[in-house]
Structure 1
Amino acid sequence: MAQATSTGITLKGSVAIVTEFFEYAINNILYQREVYPPTHFKKKSAYGLGLSVVNPDVDEKLARYLSTVLDKVKTWLDEGTVQKLVLVIMTKETAEKPSETLERWVFDLQPSPASEKPVEKDRKEIQAEIAAIQRQIIASTSFMPMTDEARVFDLLVYTNEDVETPGAWEESDAREFQENQSEQVQLRTLDTTKHKVESFVSYRLVED
């Protein structure tokens, strides 16, 4: 859990909050957008909500992958070298059809502006901001199109150019949409006073 002091959330505490937020957001998206069957998830209480997270007893490979990525993201948050996290959902590539981007969930991270007087913010207020974003992810099923095609996902981590990435990681295409082929919805902002996360989702328009 993040630590609070008389002058507000510490930098270490903010890193823990943001990392935990990413973890629940990614799991929530994978569940709500049906990238994996519901049986691959289990319910967990967080931020006053019942959220779904990957069950390692059912899909140990996926749980290990997410843990590995988030551990690295936490290290980069500590170092101040991570800029953005993007979860891309796309159709599964087949011999007949190449993969196509369906959704891009973007979490744009930036340091909160420094001020002479430390800004105090109650942890409950921060949790309320996170809960609001998680509710928006859950509500996405009401307005975003769903396809019957098999889906896969990728996590893109944007860092400073001088950051050394693990050997197993690869440079990836941004999987951007072409102009006028997507709709964008802005999500709520998370601000710990040490980090600010601006979030939005872009999704492929469905032809009538």
Structure 2
Amino acid sequence: MPTVVEQAITLKGSSDMVSQFFSYAINAVLYMRGVYPAEMFEQRKAYDVNLMVATDQRLNAYLSQVLEQVKIWLSSGMVESLVLVLTDVAKAKQIEKWTFNIEMGEDAVKSRKKSKKSIKQAQKEIQALMRQIVSSVTFLPLISSPCSFDLLIYCDKDAATPEHWEESGPCDIVGEKIQLAEYSTGYHRVTGSICYTTDDDDEEEEEESESL
């Protein structure tokens, strides 16, 4: 009988895999949280999960540009986290933050050896996280007002910022926090979390304002 050999992951493959995950994760959040109309998305299967991806050319061009740069930084170990922030347009208030922290072994960039983890193993872990992201809509608070989004990339201080990109400070949201699953490619380890505000948080802020 022939022996089945599982394909190992290279550093480039790991960077491609993490960047692709970010693309699907961002699209899933933008769809689930109603940042764009549902008709701007179409269904696509990835990681054996039915996901919604945007069909709008301008949005896709923007995401592709950002994630291509992220992929370059991933290969050199310069990305610390990718953060997707949702802002209530009417209140001009940040209401939700999706954080994906990225860890990379110190020797991973120098070592060009293939990862001990197979593509199949990594994709199984990504599948579990993506299923969790998709199901999060069942417990997150309903968003009834129009929202905008920002993508924040936190990098090593030596990373060269592309032209037209703006520097941003930290985004702090006071509210509930949920820790998501994690996955590893053998080169990169990605951990996710969601921080969101509730109606109770708004009421507490109003009470504090009135008391001042």
CA contact (8 A) 1:102 1:203 kept: yes
CA contact (8 A) 1:7 1:118 kept: no
1:106 equivalent in structure 2? 99
1:42 equivalent in structure 2? 42
C-alpha separation between the residues in 1 aligned to 2:7 and 2:47? Answer: 23
TM-score by length of 2: 0.84
The alpha carbon displacement at 1:127 in A equals: 1.0
The alpha carbon displacement at 1:114 in A equals: 5.7
Q: Secondary structure at the match of 2:25?
A: helix
C-alpha separation between the residues in 1 aligned to 2:115 and 2:67? Answer: 27
Runs of 4+ in 1 over 3 A off after TM superposition: 5-8, 112-115
For these two proteins, the number of residue pairs brought into alignment is 194
Indicate whether 1:162 and 2:154 are aligned: no
2:206 equivalent in structure 1? none
2:137 equivalent in structure 1? 141
Aligned with residue 121 of structure 1, among 108, 111, 117: 117
What are the ranges of 5 or more consecutive residues in structure 1 without an aligned counterpart?
Answer: none
Q: Secondary structure at the match of 1:9?
A: coil
C-alpha separation between the residues in 1 aligned to 2:170 and 2:187? Answer: 27
CA contact (8 A) 2:11 2:187 kept: yes
Indicate whether 1:74 and 2:68 are aligned: no
C-alpha separation between the residues in 2 aligned to 1:146 and 1:112? Answer: 39
Indicate whether 1:200 and 2:193 are aligned: yes
* AA of the residue aligned to 2:184: D
What are the ranges of 5 or more consecutive residues in structure 2 without an aligned counterpart?
Answer: 204-212
1:186 equivalent in structure 2? 179
The verdict on how the C-alpha distance between 1:170 and 1:113 changes in structure 2, with shifts beyond 3 A counting, is closer
The alpha carbon displacement at 1:42 in A equals: 1.0
CA contact (8 A) 1:7 1:120 kept: no
* AA of the residue aligned to 2:126: I
1:62 equivalent in structure 2? 59
Higher-helix-fraction structure: 2
Of all paired residues, the percent bearing the same amino acid is: 40
1:15-66 deviation line (CA, Å, top 9, x unaligned) = 11111111111111111111111111111111011111111xxx21111110
1:153 equivalent in structure 2? 149
Q: Secondary structure at the match of 1:171?
A: coil
* AA of the residue aligned to 1:44: R
1:26 equivalent in structure 2? 26
Q: Secondary structure at the match of 2:70?
A: helix
